Amino acid sequence: MSEGRRLHDGFVPGRYPIDAYGNGGFRFADMSHRGSILVLPSGVRAWPVVSFEDVNDETLAPIFGEGDALELLLLGTGLDVAAFPERLRARFREARIGLDVMQTGAAARTYNILLAENRKVGAALIAVP
Span 80-114, pLDDT tens digits: 999 999 999 999 999 999 999 999 999 999 999 99
Position 10 scores a pLDDT of: 81
pLDDT value at 4 more than 90: no
CATH architecture of the domain with range 5-125: 3-Layer(aba) Sandwich (3.40)
Domain positions in the chain: 5-125
Q: pTM of this prediction?
A: 0.91
Evaluate the CA torsion angle 32, 109, 121, 60 in order and state its sign: negative
pLDDT value at 17 more than 50: yes
Position 9 scores a pLDDT of: 65
Distance CA(19)–CA(102), nearest Å, equals 18
Position 7 scores a pLDDT of: 52
Query: What is the Cα 35 distance to its own chain's centre?
Result: 11
Distance CA(36)–CA(104), nearest Å, equals 10
Q: Phi and psi of 66, rounded to 5°? A: -80, -15
How far is residue 127 from each of residues 25, 108, 120, measured CA to CA in Å?
5, 11, 22
Encoded amino acid at 112, one letter: N
Residue ranges of the alpha helices (H) in 1-129? 57-64, 86-94, 104-116
pLDDT value at 8 more than 80: no
Position 1 scores a pLDDT of: 37
Q: Are 80 and 127 contacting, i.e. CB atoms less than 8 angstroms apart?
A: no
DSSP state of 67: G
pLDDT value at 2 more than 60: no
Span 24-55, pLDDT tens digits: 999 999 999 999 999 999 999 999 999 999 99
Distance CA(104)–CA(128), nearest Å, equals 7
